[in-house]
Amino acid sequence: MKNQDIFQRAQESIPGGVNSPVRAFKSVGGTPRFIAKANGAYIWDVEGTQYIDYLGSWGPAIVGHSHPEVVKAVQDAAVNGLSFGAPTEGEVILAEKICALLPSIEQVRLVSSGTEATMSAIRLARGATNRRKIIKFEGCYHGHSDSLLVKAGSGLLTFGNPSSSGVPQEFVSHTIVLEYNNLDAVQQAFNEVGNDIACVIVEPIAGNMNLIKPKAGFLEGLRELCTQHGALLIFDEVMTGFRAGPKGVQGLTGIKPDLTTLAKVIGGGMPVGAFGGRKDIMQHIAPMGAVYQAGTLSGNPVSVAAGLKTLEILNRPGFYEQLSATTATLVKGLKEKAAKHGVTFSADSVGGMFGIYFRSEVPTTFAEVQESDTKAFNVFFHAMLDEGVHLAPSAFEAGFVSACHNEEILTKTFDAADKAFAKVAAM
């Protein structure tokens, strides 16, 4: 009963009992598990129950939880001081590493979260181009800064309505929200207001409306339109960076964004974000230029140590081959179990990310993913949890695999899924 007791208590002192909304199990119902510890592919709640973890802290835990080398790096860094408010060599090494790994990034600035990274990149794009408007896509999440917290209304060229109260309409009046994978809509927006569009920001593989891949030509088209109209292309690789592949989606596609945002994996489980790109653009940032951006804990030495060690581990030979193969095997096995029970289901993966959908086809847009059977997902989610498998508590989130998810863990997952799909079939 401890999870339930703590959740009750939590709701007294924390809004909804959680410090980030999706943790509250609001869409799936029930009691969130309060996690006491994690190791490798497993997490344990306060009642001592063990779960196979497919949350992976929403992406960062790519080398597995509590990796001994990462823990040691953090401990060693902490002994020397937690934060200085003055530069360190570690930050330089991490910046050099990011620039070396992602060739589109010539200079990079470290921040403390993905939200900060995207917010700063947007400000930089506006400052560098001297334009006001931004294009984002329905279902893509870029953190919770005001101008990005917008979903689409209907229509081809929809000027945004805020998704959150507390965001005045005027604050998002320059945010244009278009359908993901709809290049014609982007073309039309550029035709209409192209000379005032500062940037297009996109999750080059979307992971915040479940997993949705770009159609052939979509990202290439964005690149072309941005170049043609003098707008900047921002790849938000907060989730996909070093997760979809060793060089993120830009590595998989060969498309070079002007700016890239990163977080999650590059902090190895500690708070870190980054935005970087072409040097001529990055030179607009203070203290070099007129676009202001700062942070008390930016480039925190303990976070940097965790990130550096994580990047070192995932650059060892065979890391991504194994991770991708594991994730692909997971998806294949889940599809087989669903088929066995006659459940309408599809699934997809890239690198160490996967999507499961209670619909017959892998979706390509937000509207399509919304057609998923959420009731079926909720039954599946709770049945898996009862069997000791912790998935993301929403039908509209991607899942994450780590290097510690091995054959034995996959077999346990498939056994759980066999029972869970049977429950779905019996709904």
Of 345, 372, 371, 396, nearest to 26 (Cα)? Answer: 396
- Cβ-defined contacts of 403-409 (< 8 Å, 24+): 403/62, 403/63, 403/64, 403/313, 403/314, 403/319, 403/322, 403/323, 404/40, 404/41, 404/63, 404/64, 404/65, 405/41, 405/52, 405/326, 405/330, 406/41, 406/326, 409/41, 409/52
Q: By CB under 6 A, which span of 92-100, 138-146, 192-200, 214-222 interacts with ligand PMP?
A: 138-146
Q: How many residues bind ligand PMP (CB under 6 A)?
A: 16
Indicate which single residue of 147, 208, 303, 372 sits in contact with ligand PMP (rule: CB under 6 A).
208
DSSP code of 170?
Answer: G
Shortest Å distance, C-beta 79 to ligand PMP:
26
303 binds ligand PMP (CB under 6 A): no
Query: Where do we find the tokens 């070192």?
Result: 312
Which of 213, 247, 264, 309 is catalytic? The answer is: 264
Q: Is position 256 annotated as part of the catalytic site? A: no
236 binds ligand PMP (CB under 6 A): yes
Which of 141, 180, 320, 357 is catalytic? The answer is: 141
Q: Is position 236 annotated as part of the catalytic site? A: yes
238 binds ligand PMP (CB under 6 A): yes
**Closer residue to ligand PMP in complex, CB, 391/424:** 391
Q: By CB under 6 A, which span of 180-188, 233-241, 322-330, 344-352 interacts with ligand PMP?
A: 233-241
| Dihedral angle sign, alpha carbons of residues 171, 173, 176, 177 | positive
Q: Is position 332 annotated as part of the catalytic site? A: no
**Closer residue to ligand PMP in complex, CB, 90/267:** 267
> Using CA atoms, how far apart are residues 355 and 361, in angstroms rounded to an integer?
12
Q: By CB under 6 A, which span of 8-16, 236-244, 334-342, 368-376 interacts with ligand PMP?
A: 236-244
Indicate which single residue of 54, 58, 190, 320 sits in contact with ligand PMP (rule: CB under 6 A).
58
**Closer residue to ligand PMP in complex, CB, 41/212:** 212
**Residues from 184 through 203 that contact ligand PMP (CB under 6 A):** 203
Task: For residue 308, give every residue at least 6 positions away whose Cβ sits within 8 Å of its Cβ, in sequence order, or none.
Answer: 73, 90, 93, 94, 97
> Using CA atoms, how far apart are residues 275 and 121, in angstroms rounded to an integer?
6
Helix, strand, coil percentages for the chain (3-state, nearest 5) = 45, 20, 40
The radius of gyration of the chain from alpha carbons, rounded to an integer in Å, stands at 21
Name the residue number minimizing CB distance to ligand PMP.
114
263 binds ligand PMP (CB under 6 A): yes
What residue ranges bind ligand PMP (CB under 6 A)?
58, 113-115, 118, 141-143, 203, 207-208, 236, 238-239, 263, 273
Catalytic positions are 141, 236, 264
